[in-house]
């Protein structure tokens, strides 16, 4: 692939998704986009690069889709989910009982659904605790293909073994051949829709918890800061932002403060902080 | 350091599992079938057992039932690791006292993720 086309495609992907590919990723671009080029009738990735600017939205979507990394697994890193069950949930339930009996949770880069479904499984196991409260889980992503898979809730034998305790597998999944389908009960607890973190998402309404994990890492500092500001705006004052295990807001934003005890957990600067119980 | 007994009649599986578990800082011992595993456990209980299902002499399930009936046999965490990949077998294993279940083929990531969560 020609250097200038590498640049064209990187620029395109960054403008539309925030994802910074960098020049070292030309191999990645070529392997991931060759099938797309074929599918849309281009001779090769170079030809696709020329056509991209004026392309129809389905080609643009396919290119963005192919350049996203959608890896996810159930109960990824475990600790945020433990913090969700033991700290965030009881606290938000107490608040909800005093206010509007509502809790809203948003997975902002839900990929193939493992993250919101893990939360749903925790909620179902604690059903008694939140009786009378309306809990919403919303999963959004930029990738159409991932969202499609998330909605179907079909996972491979490998996927259901990464992070998911076997007891939950037996309880919440149905096996068909080598595929495992998540139960309707869990599926019905999560709503999926497409949303780009670079675009305004205020329409989603106020949130109590935002899981925005393993997506900021792909953005440059400026984009990270912009997204964090928008997430901050959508979060209720005593709400929580949960980042991936390797992500930090250090040097990116001081709107949110790290909650004690767990690396990826943030609250609005100034909100009370009672996480000392969790020593991770 | 924790100890793990790897029970499988395939020497290849034992070797692969040993490598991954040793990288996780387990002290690893091996047994070729349920009977040998039982004898080793009677001598000294490991902290964890990675257990195949189909083996000559004594199957993994028979071994597990015997183990759980034995004094101190409730202590080891038992992780099945087998080609028996249907819910029926999984349910049977859990009922007999298994703590986790790995469906073959497995990889390093699956083994690590299952073992990390055993102790949390
Ligand atoms: C590695 S996955 C993370 C999945 C999950 N949150 C986790 O931690 O396991 C990253 C996801 O971010 C999505 N993504 C990338 N850029 C995005 C954007 N601008 N808006 C929304 N989602 C985006 C990708 O499509 C991909 O599904």
Q: What is the pLDDT of residues B7-53, one digit of tens each?
A: 999 999 999 999 999 999 999 999 999 999 999 999 999 999 999 99
Q: Which CATH class is domain A3-68?
A: mainly alpha
Other C-beta atoms within 10 Å of A263: how many?
17
- The answer to whether the Cβ–Cβ distance between B117 and A78 falls below 8 Å is yes
pTM recorded for the entire structure: 0.93
CATH of residue B24: 3.40.50.2300
Under a CB-based contact definition with an 8 Å cutoff, are residues A131 and A233 in contact?
Answer: no
Bridge pairing between strands B26-31 and A256-258: unpaired
Name every chain A residue with its beta carbon within 8 A of the beta carbon of B100: 165-166
Name residues contacting ligand 1 (CB within 6 A).
Answer: A 17-19, 68-72, 76, 109, 111, 115, 141-143, 146, 196-198, 213-215, 218, 244
CA-proximal residue: ligand 1, atom 23 (nearest): A142
Q: Which of residues 154-173 of A touch B (CB under 8 A)?
A: 157-158, 161-163, 165-167, 169-170
The domain ranges of chain A are: 3-68, 79-279
Q: How far is the CA of A212 from the centre of ligand 1 (A)?
A: 8
Beta bridge partners of A138: A106, A191
Q: B94 pLDDT band (50/70/90 cuts)?
A: very high
Give the domain extent around B82: 3-118
Residue A237, burial from CB neighbour count under 10 angstroms (0-12, 13-18, 19+): exposed
pLDDT of residue A234: 96
Bridge pairing between strands A154-155 and A179-182: antiparallel
Q: How many Cα atoms are found within 13 Å in the side-chain-facing hemisphere of A254?
A: 1
Secondary structure tally for chain A: helices H, strands E: 11, 10
pLDDT tens by residue, B17-27: 999 999 999 99
Under a CB-based contact definition with an 8 Å cutoff, are residues A173 and A181 in contact?
Answer: yes
CA-proximal residue: ligand 1, atom 25 (nearest): A143
Residue A244, SS3 per DSSP: coil
Which residue in the block uniquely carries the two structure tokens 């889709």?
A65
- Tell which residue, B97, B81, B66, has the closest CA to residue B14: B81
Token representation of residue B45? 């209980």
**Domain tally for chain B?**
1
Is residue A2's pLDDT more than 90? no
pLDDT tens by residue, A172-207: 999 999 899 999 999 999 999 999 999 999 899 999
Under a CB-based contact definition with an 8 Å cutoff, are residues A13 and A6 in contact?
Answer: no
| Architecture of the A79-279 domain | 3-Layer(aba) Sandwich (3.40)
Residue A36, SS3 per DSSP: helix
Name every chain A residue with its beta carbon within 8 A of the beta carbon of B120: 78, 82
pLDDT of residue B102: 98
């Amino acid at each position: 692939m020609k250097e200038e086309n590498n640049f064209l495609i990187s620029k395109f992907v960054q403008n539309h998704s925030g994802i910074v590919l960098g020049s070292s990723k030309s191999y990645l671009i070529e392997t991931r986009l060759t099938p797309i080029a074929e599918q849309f009738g281009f001779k090769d990735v170079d030809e696709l690069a020329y056509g991209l600017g004026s392309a129809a939205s389905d080609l643009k979507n396919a290119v963005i889709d192919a350049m996203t990394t959608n890896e996810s697994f159930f109960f990824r890193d475990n600790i945020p989910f433990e913090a969700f069950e033991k700290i965030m949930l009881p606290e938000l339930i107490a608040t909800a009982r005093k206010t509007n009996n509502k809790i809203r949770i948003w997975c902002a880069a839900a990929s193939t659904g493992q993250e919101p479904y893990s939360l749903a499984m925790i909620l179902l196991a604690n059903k008694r605790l939140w009786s009378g409260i309306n809990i919403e889980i919303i999963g959004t992503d930029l990738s159409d293909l991932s969202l499609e898979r998330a909605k179907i809730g079909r996972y491979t034998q490998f996927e259901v073994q990464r992070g998911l305790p076997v007891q939950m597998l037996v309880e919440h999944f149905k096996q068909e051949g080598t595929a495992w389908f998540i139960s309707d009960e869990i599926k019905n607890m999560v709503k999926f829709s497409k949303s780009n973190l670079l675009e305004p998402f205020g329409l989603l309404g106020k949130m109590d918890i935002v899981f925005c994990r393993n997506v900021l890492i792909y953005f440059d500092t400026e984009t990270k800061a912009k997204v964090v500001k928008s997430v901050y705006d959508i979060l209720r004052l005593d709400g929580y932002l949960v980042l991936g295990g390797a992500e930090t807001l250090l040097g990116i934003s001081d709107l949110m403060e790290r909650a004690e005890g767990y690396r990826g957990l943030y609250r609005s600067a100034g909100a009370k902080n009672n996480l000392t119980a969790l020593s991770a | 350091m924790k100890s793990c007994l790897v029970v499988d009649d395939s020497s290849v599986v034992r070797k692969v599992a040993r490598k991954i578990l040793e990288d996780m800082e387990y002290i690893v011992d091996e047994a070729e079938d349920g009977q040998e595993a039982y004898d080793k456990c009677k001598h000294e209980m490991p902290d964890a057992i990675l257990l195949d299902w189909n083996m000559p002499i004594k199957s993994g399930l028979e071994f597990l039932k015997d183990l759980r009936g034995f004094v101190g046999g409730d202590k080891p965490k038992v992780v099945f690791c087998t080609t028996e990949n249907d819910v029926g077998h999984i349910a049977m294993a859990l009922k007999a006292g298994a703590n986790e279940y790995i469906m073959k083929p497995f990889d390093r990531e699956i083994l690590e993720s299952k073992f990390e969560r055993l102790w949390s």
